Amino acid sequence: MKEFSTFTWISIFALGAMLVNSFGIWAIYKKREWAEKTKEYCMCFAAGTLISSPLIISLPHALHKNSYAGFAALIGFMFMYFSNKIIKYKTKQKELAFGITALEGIAIHSLMDGVIYTVTFSTSATIGVLTGVGLVIHEFAEGIITYSVLLKSGISGRKAGVYAFLVAALTTPIGAFIVYPLVQKFPNDVLGFALGFVSGVLIYVSASHLLPESSEHEKRHSTVAFIAGTVFTLFHMFTGH
């Protein structure tokens, strides 16, 4: 994993996330039935990766760099928790208002994904890859969700596809490339604190978003997909160092 530069890894995963998200948008636009069947498995695999990677790799690594990284993780978790509360409160509106406020939340989330790529790869290529795989896979489901939200708010099919790309897909590389020059200037203890914050965000995304959503529409092999995501993390933990 060391033959690529940090910026190359960030570019690969940020642009890959954009492409996978775009594929989700295209799939729900063209092949709705297949996309709906696949979405839950992607979310479960991503949940397994995004809950195990912070707990056994990212957070311990962050604590090694900064002893206050655990507080940063709590701040990251609470930040996502209260952001979600505010978005849910606002979405008790009519259909169009629902679409707008939901898209605000998705846009913030996608920008945060880009920031996560930059912080994790700036710390370690292994941590970046493990985090990145989970995030990229969940982008497929996010593309489907974003497109569906736009349709629900009354926007036509083609416009919904374009808006979904701008809000959910394009924002991830934008977030990554904007933050990259700043992260390079972080001292070691600040990078550890940032990685702790990111760990809290990832734990929230998995435990409070991906898992409940996939459990609500649980399919026959959902648990297998979740376990596969966890095993994937463990495999890379023991072979990637």
- Give the residue extent of every domain in the chain: 6-239
3-state secondary structure (DSSP) of residue 2? coil
Please tell me the number of Cα atoms within 13 Å of 221 on its side-chain side. Answer: 10
Query: pLDDT of 65-77, one tens digit each?
Result: 899 999 999 998 9
Query: pLDDT of 126-180, one tens digit each?
Result: 888 878 887 787 787 778 777 776 776 667 778 888 888 988 899 889 988 988 8
For the chain, list residues with pLDDT below 50: 1-2, 94, 96-98, 241
Query: How would you label 8-29 residue by residue, b for 16+ Cβ within 10 Å and e otherwise?
Result: ebbbbbbebbbebbbbbbbbbb
Comparing C-alpha atoms, which of 161, 164, 165, 53 is closest to residue 116? Answer: 53
Those residues with Cβ within 8 angstroms of residue 219's Cβ, 6 or more apart along the chain or in another chain: 37, 40, 41
186-191 long-range Cβ contacts below 8 angstroms, 24+ apart: 186/122, 188/65, 188/66, 189/65, 189/66, 190/66, 191/65, 191/66, 191/119, 191/122, 191/123
